[in-house]
Amino acid sequence: MKRVIIFGAGKFGKNRYKCLKDKYDVEVVAYADNDSEKWGGRCNDICIIAPEEIQQFEYDEILIAVIDFEVSEEIRAELRKLNILDEKIVDLATSVKYMDIYMEPRFGWIQDFGKWVSEQKIKGSVAECGVYRGDSAKFINKFFPDRKLYLFDTFEGFSEDDVKFEKCLGNSEFNDSKFALEPVFRNTSVGYVLKKMPFPENICIKKGYFPESACEINDRFCFVNLDMDLYAPMLNGLQFFWERLETNGCILLHDYFHPNLPGVKKAVEAFEQKCTDKIFKTVIGDRVSIALFKG
Ligand SMILES: C[S@@+](CC[C@H](N)C(=O)[O-])C[C@H]1O[C@@H](n2cnc3c(N)ncnc32)[C@H](O)[C@@H]1O
């Protein structure tokens, strides 16, 4: 069993404990934190120590558990000064190794695709439509370190018109779900998302209603993640990016198999009916997404 110290006894570090213990079979020997008021206290019934005390423990890895990537890098620098080897330090927020188990197939796949794009020398930028709090964008940013990443979102949730349109499609799976009945995806902001990015210099934020927010884009793409949940924006996303997609590039659509979001599959069907190109479609093993390739 691996022994780890979680650096960060805040909400994130506290919440990741159960998953680490149950799914990854690690033993958390201590929490470390820079907040002196927490020292001597407990988190998940485990002692909270000062960073200087770390070396008194036997451990295999230190897992930095903070949301903000820049803060994580500051902690990494602090740990280096304490003579802790880099290979023992893991940023939990962007680590595939310790991610929630249900997320691993999708992000493992995107990681592999990022490597493949680079090996095959496929040109182009990358994009995500439907960013919300940046929890998939930060991985795309990490796995395509040399590519410009466009991030499209209202950063204020669904557009009322898109929801009205979706309701008119008459699918009770959607109409009776939280997506139709409650305002969703509003608790975010551009600043909050940017803080999570490992390579913020690669990011181009496109805040506003998609596809209007894309009207000035004059670029080509090797990978696009479409995650806007509803028929109209997903169909618009396919139409906009397909003609800008490089050969062997991929558009990944999240929620194709989501029981409450049938508009996504309908958008793909509508797109396929009109598109004259050969589209290669495949599942990626995460039970929810579909990948479309341009041959
Ligand atoms: C499911 S969330 C995205 C989740 C994110 N990809 C993740 O994995 O954490 C869907 C997002 O799509 C955005 N969205 C939906 N329709 C949109 C539109 N027409 N224009 C811009 N953003 C839209 C919403 O604001 C919301 O943040």
Residue 167 carries which side chain, given as an amino acid letter? K
Question: Per-residue pLDDT for 63 more than 80?
Answer: yes
The closest residue, in CA terms, to atom 22 on ligand 1 is 153
Q: Which of 94, 114, 136 is the last residue of a domain?
A: 94
Q: Which of 94, 120, 140 is the last residue of a domain?
A: 94
Residues 198 and 68 in one domain: no
Average pLDDT, the chain: 96
Residues 133 and 274 in one domain: yes
Average pLDDT on 179-187 reads 95
Average pLDDT on 159-181 reads 96
Residue 111: CATH number of its domain: 3.40.50.150
Q: Among 106, 159, 185, say which to mutate for ligand 1: greatest number of ligand atoms within 8 Å of CB.
A: 185
**Exposed/middle/buried for 293, CB within 10 Å: 0-12, 13-18, 19+?**
middle
Residues 218 and 76 in one domain: no
- How many Å is the Cα radius of gyration of the chain? 21
Q: At what angle do helices 231-242 and 262-274 cross, to 10 degrees?
A: 40
The closest residue, in CA terms, to atom 15 on ligand 1 is 228
- Span 86-107, pLDDT tens digits: 999 999 999 988 887 778 899 9
Residues 140 and 58 in one domain: no
Residues 118 and 237 in one domain: yes
Question: Per-residue pLDDT for 25 more than 90?
Answer: no
Whole-number pLDDT of residue 53: 98
Residues 142 and 176 in one domain: yes
- Span 236-253, pLDDT tens digits: 999 999 999 999 999 999
Residue 176: domain span:
104-294
Beta-bridge mates of residue 225: 128, 252
Task: Give the distance (Å) from ligand 1 centre to CA of residue 55.
Answer: 43
- Span 262-288, pLDDT tens digits: 999 999 999 999 999 999 999 999 999
Residues 39 and 147 in one domain: no
Task: Give the distance (Å) from ligand 1 centre to CA of residue 2.
Answer: 37
Q: Among 67, 154, 210, 217, say which to mutate for ligand 1: greatest number of ligand atoms within 8 Å of CB.
A: 154
Q: In which band, very low, low, confident or very high, does the pLDDT at 108 lie, cut at 50, 70 and 90?
A: very high
- Span 118-159, pLDDT tens digits: 999 999 999 999 999 999 999 999 999 999 999 999 999 999
Which tokens sit at 242? 């397909």
pTM: 0.94
Task: Give the distance (Å) from ligand 1 centre to CA of residue 98.
Answer: 25
The closest residue, in CA terms, to atom 23 on ligand 1 is 153
- Identify the sign of the CA torsion 57, 60, 65, 71: positive
Structural domain includes residue 267 = yes
Residues 142 and 179 in one domain: yes
Structural domain includes residue 23 = yes
Structural domain includes residue 99 = no
Q: Which of 67, 94, 121 is the last residue of a domain?
A: 94
How far, in Å, CA of 171 to CA of 228, rounded?
17
Question: Per-residue pLDDT for 116 more than 80?
Answer: yes
Residues 126 and 60 in one domain: no
Whole-number pLDDT of residue 232: 98
Residues 140 and 172 in one domain: yes
Average pLDDT on 75-84 reads 97
**Whether residue 159 has its Cβ less than 6 Å from ligand 1:** yes
Residue 37: CATH number of its domain: 3.40.50.720
Whole-number pLDDT of residue 99: 86
Residues 78 and 176 in one domain: no
Structural domain includes residue 53 = yes
Q: In which band, very low, low, confident or very high, does the pLDDT at 23 lie, cut at 50, 70 and 90?
A: confident
Q: Among 128, 206, 213, 227, say which to mutate for ligand 1: greatest number of ligand atoms within 8 Å of CB.
A: 227
Number of domains in the chain: 2
Residues 257 and 112 in one domain: yes
Long-range contacts, 86-90 (Cβ 8 Å, 24+)? 88/59, 88/60, 88/61, 88/62, 89/61, 89/62, 89/64, 90/61, 90/62, 90/63, 90/64
